[in-house]
Structure 1
Amino acid sequence: MEHAFANSIETSTQRLVAEKQKSDLLLSRMLPLPVLRRLRAQRAVPAEAFDAVTIFFSDIVGFTTIAANSTPMEVINMLNMLYRLFDEKIMQYNVYKVETIGDAYMVVSGLPQRNGNRHASEIADMSLALVDSLRDARVPHRPADLLKIRAGVNTGPCVAGVVGATMPRYCLFGDTINTASRMETTGEAMKIHISHTTKKALDEIGNYIVESRGKIDIPGKGSMETFWLLGKMGNVQSESPRCMRLNDYDQNLLELIIRS
């Protein structure tokens, strides 16, 4: 009886540990790993200011029309296909996916872990790769229609922190985010629209092909000179040298959870 009882306790403990690992892995998809570590250690994570990060926004061109002429299931399948493609691509770079809202996709580099001046080049390389991955792509349930995105990028300071308790989210705040969103909404199909601050950061790094769009009226910002990111001299870096791949990330995360 004692042996059976001990085996039962051991089995229950193993199941509990396995479920905890699953829940922690799910939580890691909602919060960056460094923030998750601090949250587990401190129970609270204070907001943090970052002097310079680079923000990427994208959305689907004509999404409202596509959604109006599609079933909800078709829209979900389309977004799932697109996000799975993007999620796989961005794991090759030193970036963090902040969130998706409808057809909007938001990514940042330079936080929660600072990476010097690499944030602009990481987002630039990622942006070029994402746009290139959709060349000649079709709406899954409307094969006659091309699937196109608009992309916008901006560089500047911001504040980031965990918001909420029941369902905590890692959120970004500041005008840098607003400007990045404006770059996307005022952009054009299958083009990467960047601000002057991003252009300046890329000029310091070098080897990026940028073209002035001239001055345009940006809602809420006034007249601004903006630019198109056209490409990169040589090959676009397909993988950040210091960034873990997806499988490595999951494995390292599980090892961290098991040890904690």
Structure 2
Amino acid sequence: PIEVVGLLNDLYTLYDAILRNYDVYKVETIGDTYMVASGLPQRNGSRHAAEIAYMALDILSSVGDFRVRHAPSVPIHIRIGLHSGPCMAGAVGVTRYCLFGDTVNTASRMESTGLPYRIHMSRSTVQALLSLDEGYKIDVRGQTELKGKDVEETYWLVGKAGFPRPLPTPLHIKPV
């Protein structure tokens, strides 16, 4: 248990440092899940998808160099899921801001149906990124069954023109 807490502390400290560079809000961490939103609580127009996408590339690149203290030869195979859409938000208690709704659930499904070293995206996020015309590189993943939803066309974010750091090579794993 101490090693798991140490691992999550090191990983979340890395993520927290990266988030400072973007217009994003850390919503919460639950176990090994780290949830971030953009455009909330402060709206940022059409920038939300770009802020999250560039941050996701930055995190993915940084995790390629991350070493687990108690097992430095074991890589961390993260999955990242992105979805854009409306959601309900509200203050819970004095210091907590929570998000609710289908957008949150769909973002979670993008992560859970993703693959290691991949950024899995919904069509709405792809449309938001393409509308900005900032050089995001996107591959079609294909039809993906999302729990509690239907089968939807989903996509991989594989890079961005001018992104300065290498990304880890995705593993070739077939989902079950």
* TM-score, normalised by the number of residues in structure 2: 0.89
Alignment match, 1:183: 110
2-side partners of 1:116 and 1:107: how far apart?
17
1:20-78 deviation digits (Å, cap 9, x = unpaired): xxxxxxxxxxxxxxxxxxxxxxxxxxxxxxxxxxxxxxxxxxxxxxxxxxxx1111111
Identify which of 195, 200, 212 aligns with 2:140: 212
Which of residues 183, 188, 196 is equivalent to 2:123? 196
- Aligned partner of 2:167 in structure 1 is none
Alignment of 1:27-46 (within 5 A): none
Mean CA deviation greater in 130-139 or 154-163: 130-139
Match of residue 235 from structure 1: 163
* Letter of the structure 2 residue corresponding to residue 124 of structure 1: A
Provide the residue aligned with 1:39 in structure 2: none
Counterpart of 1:173 in structure 2 is: 100
Aligned counterparts of 2:132 and 2:24: Cα–Cα separation in 1:
17
1:137 shift after superposition: 2.7
Aligned-partner Cα distance in 1 for 2:23–2:65? 27
Q: Distance between the aligned counterparts of 2:32 and 2:115, measured in 1?
A: 16
SS at match of 2:117: coil
Which runs of 4 or more aligned residues in structure 1 lie more than 4 Å from their structure 2 counterparts after TM superposition? none
SS in 1 for 2:7: helix
CA deviations over 1:6-27 (Å, ceiling 9, x no partner): xxxxxxxxxxxxxxxxxxxxxx
Counterpart of 1:131, as a letter, is L
8 Å Cα contact 1:136-1:147 kept in structure 2: no
Which protein, 1 or 2, shows the higher relative CO under an 8 Å CA cutoff with sep ≥ 6? 1
Task: Give the aligned CA root-mean-square deviation in angstroms.
Answer: 1.4
Distance 1:98 1:85 in 2: 16
Alignment-mate amino acid for residue 92 of structure 2? V
Match of 1:133 in 2: 62
Aligned mate of 2:91, from 162, 169, 190: 162
Number of the residue aligned with 2:37: 108
Aligned to 2:169: none
Residue identity (%): 55
- The SS at the match of 2:61 is helix
The alignment covers a number of residue pairs equal to 164
Question: Is this contact kept in 2: 1:137–1:148, CA < 8 A?
Answer: no
Whether the aligned pair in 2 keeps the contact of 1:202 and 1:208 (CA below 8 Å) is yes
Look up the match of 1:150: 79
Deviations 1:228-259 (A, max 9, x none): 000101236xxxxxxxxxxxxxxxxxxxxxxx
Q: C-alpha separation between the residues in 1 aligned to 2:92 and 2:9?
A: 26
SS in 1 for 2:72: strand
Provide the C-alpha distance between the structure 1 equivalents of 2:113 and 2:67, rounded to a whole number of angstroms.
23
1:250 is matched with none
Q: 1:94-122 CA deviation, whole Å, 9 max, x = no partner?
A: 00000101110000000111101000000
Cα offset, 1:168, TM superposition: 4.9
Q: Rg bigger for which structure?
A: 1
Q: How many Å separate the matches in 2 of 1:128 and 1:223?
A: 26
For structure 2, the residue ranges without an aligned partner over 5 or more in a row are 165-176
> TM-score when scaled to structure 1?
0.61
CA distance in 2, matches of 1:129, 1:183: 18
Name structure 1 gaps, 5 residues minimum: 1-71, 237-260
